[in-house]
Amino acid sequence: MYPRIRDLREDYDLTQREMGEILSCSQRVYSNYERGDLDIPTDILIKLAKFYHTSTDYILGLTDKR
């Protein structure tokens, strides 16, 4: 459901565990976000967009413009 957060994470050469630490969640929770098993909370979505210097629309797949 959220392949872009996986692609962005891999572009930055980060592990799921490292992203979990950045977002103050566990690796398991972050993995669930990437797989779409959990919806990404708004505050986490905003943190991701700021961290990757992109828009929330890009992460959600609403635009292809980074």
Q: What is the pLDDT of residues 10-50, one digit of tens each?
A: 999 999 999 999 999 999 999 999 999 999 999 999 999 99
Q: What is the pLDDT of residues 43-62, one digit of tens each?
A: 999 999 999 999 999 999 99
Task: Indicate whether 1 pLDDT > 80.
Answer: no
| Structure confidence at residue 66 (pLDDT) | 85
Binned at pLDDT 50, 70 and 90, residue 4 comes out as: very high
| Structure confidence at residue 12 (pLDDT) | 96
The alpha-carbon radius of gyration of the chain (Å, integer) is 11
